């Protein structure tokens, strides 16, 4: 069986508690939309957390909690109100349909990127990456966390293979060179903190041209 890749439990707990940074939450929400079993687990966690809050101190809930509660009420009433869909990519999972998208930009042979206009957190923002079959990104590491979820196709690193719905967590300690191994282009959504750091002398030469 192919191992499934997902967020760490710490990150899922932070997401369930509503304290994950907004760009990372967008990528985790996308992963959960593609992995119903993990989504059910997070919802159970949120329900238990909500009950725990009710039974302990009467604290003020965030406005997000109210929105989520209202959404649940609407779902229960059979009238699901979906947020307005704001972009030109109907193939995207629902959590990504609510954000406007910037223009596609060329960043290398067979590689394009476009901004997802989701809330930022400092330098951390959400992007879509589209890489053609057989292409690989330059070998790189990261200034901060990089969270990547596969939307179409598949890519492999030196040690792992990531399929649709898989989520890869990378940070400054991970040096990798993802290569697309599917017959179709690999479309990913990523929350990226700062610019990636290209490795080697060629990478350092290319660095000014690879702006994600």
CB nearer to Zn ion: give 68 or 143.
143
Query: What six digits make up the tokens of 79?
Result: 């009238």
Stretch that binds Zn ion, among 2-10, 47-55, 98-106, 139-147 (CB under 5 A): 139-147
Q: Which residues contact 109 (CB under 8 A, 6 or more apart)?
A: 135
Q: Is the dihedral of CA 184, 205, 160, 6 positive or negative?
A: negative
CB nearer to Zn ion: give 116 or 170.
170
CB nearer to Zn ion: give 38 or 170.
170
Whole-number Å distance between alpha carbons of 206 and 171: 21
**Binding flag, residue 145, Zn ion (CB under 5 A):** no
Residue 79: C-alpha distances to residues 70, 125, 201 (Å): 11, 32, 57
| Closest CB 146 distance from Zn ion, rounded Å | 5
If DSSP states are collapsed to H, E and C, what string results for 46-113?
A: HHHHHHHHHHCCCCCCCHHHHHHHHHHHHHHCCCCCCCCCCCCCCCCCHHHHCCCECCCEEEECCEEE
Residue of 115, 146, 166, 193 interacting with Zn ion (CB under 5 A): 146
CB nearer to Zn ion: give 167 or 170.
170
| Closest CB 175 distance from Zn ion, rounded Å | 9
CB nearer to Zn ion: give 85 or 206.
206
| Closest CB 111 distance from Zn ion, rounded Å | 13
CB nearer to Zn ion: give 73 or 209.
209
Binding mask 70-89 for Zn ion (x = CB under 5 A): --------------------
Whole-number Å distance between alpha carbons of 192 and 171: 10
Q: Which residues pair with 190 in a beta bridge?
A: 127, 148
Stretch that binds Zn ion, among 4-12, 71-79, 152-160, 162-170 (CB under 5 A): 162-170
| Residues of this chain that bind Zn ion (CB under 5 A) | 146, 170
């Amino acid at each position: 069986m192919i191992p499934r890749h997902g967020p760490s439990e710490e990150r899922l707990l932070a997401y369930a508690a509503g304290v994950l940074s907004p760009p990372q939450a967008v990528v985790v929400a996308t992963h959960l939309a593609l992995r119903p079993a993990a989504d059910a687990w997070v919802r159970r966690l949120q329900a238990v957390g909500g009950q725990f809050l009710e039974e302990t101190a009467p604290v003020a809930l965030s406005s997000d909690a109210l929105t989520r509660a209202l959404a649940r009420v609407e779902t229960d009433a059979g009238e699901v109100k979906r947020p307005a869909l704001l972009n030109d990519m109907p193939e995207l999972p629902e959590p990504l349909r609510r954000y406007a998208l910037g223009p596609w930009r060329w960043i290398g042979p067979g590689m394009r990127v476009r901004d997802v206009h989701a809330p930022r957190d400092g330098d951390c923002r959400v992007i879509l990456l589209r890489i053609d079959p057989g292409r690989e990104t330059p070998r790189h590491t990261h200034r901060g966390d990089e969270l990547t979820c596969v939307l179409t196709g598949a890519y492999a690193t030196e040690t792992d293979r990531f399929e649709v719905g898989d989520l890869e967590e990378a940070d400054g300690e991970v040096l990798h060179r993802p290569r697309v191994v599917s017959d179709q282009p690999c479309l990913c959504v990523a929350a990226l903190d700062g610019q990636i750091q290209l490795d080697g002398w060629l990478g350092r030469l290319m660095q000014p041209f690879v702006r994600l």
